Amino acid sequence: MKYGYLTDPGLVRERNEDSVIIVENSAHEILMCVADGMGGHKDGEVASSIAITHISQRFRSISSVGNKEDAIQWIQSTVSEANVEIFKYVKEHPESEGMGTTIVLAVLTPSFLLFGNIGDSSGYVVKNGKLHKITVDHTLVNLLVKSGELTEEEAKAHPRKNVLMKALGANTNVEMDIFNVELGIDGIMLCSDGLTNMLDDNQIVKVLMEDIPIPQKLKKLIFKCNNRGGSDNISIAYLVKEEG
């Protein structure tokens, strides 16, 4: 397996509030994680960094996530711990009141693949040259689409499309959505919405399928986003089983 990750502030935002990482533990299990600090709030980059740092350090510290049920429990408890760490920081730094972050992650072992998310950062698998979204966005417009009040096309242009219904740092109790994914895939991609707001699935997978090294693929995707205006921070974590 080969993997890489990259983050970029884009062309509009003053700061990069995203955090991204891929780590491997001693059992050769892999954790991929992307967090998008809540834009417009103080210290969004602090919130995303706290989440990514806590989750990745906990992953490195264990010999294995265990079986699938153990891994689900580990993900839920570790993400809850990260949420507590964000609240602790705000208590010690009252000026940071209101900060928060999305989180999307994937845990890959030889036996299973799990995705988890809170917010609107996205997790995908690549299979047979196509991109398939696994996670479900926790946004106001997604609720409106599900209820039939908006179409998918209307949601894309909705003025409140970035309003989150769930985020780390928003509530003291938080539960991550977990998705059990079949292993017969070619790759995994996690990203912040700075990528998906600029490029559609076909544009993204076209680059991922190119016969170039992963770092070049990530740079090319970010270049394309910035070429379209780069209106947000852009973060991508990508893994492939084999690469030519």
- pLDDT tens for 185-221 read 999 999 999 999 999 999 999 999 999 999 999 999 9
Assess contact for 129 and 205: CB atoms under 8 A.
yes
| pLDDT score, position 154 | 77
Is residue 147 assigned to a domain? no
Helices (H), the chain: 44-61, 68-92, 140-146, 152-156, 193-196, 201-208, 214-227
Neighbours of 148 (CB within 10 A): 7
| pLDDT score, position 222 | 98
CATH code of the domain in which 42 resides: 3.60.40.10
- CB burial class (10 A; 0-12, 13-18, 19+) of residue 41? middle
Structure tokens at 171: 């509530």
Is residue 154 assigned to a domain? no
Assess contact for 175 and 109: CB atoms under 8 A.
no
User: For residue 217, what are the domain limits?
Assistant: 2-135+162-240
Is residue 167 assigned to a domain? yes
Assess contact for 18 and 36: CB atoms under 8 A.
yes
Is residue 148 assigned to a domain? no
| pLDDT score, position 240 | 97
| pLDDT score, position 40 | 54
Span 88-104, mean pLDDT? 93
Is residue 153 assigned to a domain? no
Least Cα distance to 76 among 169, 151, 157, 175 occurs for 175
Provide the number of structural domains found in the chain: 1
Is residue 114 assigned to a domain? yes
Between 227 and 154, residue with greater pLDDT: 227
Is residue 121 assigned to a domain? yes
| pLDDT score, position 39 | 55
β-bridge pairing 2-8 and 30-36: unpaired
pLDDT beyond 90 at 159: no
| pLDDT score, position 41 | 58
Residue type, position 79, single letter: V
Is residue 52 assigned to a domain? yes
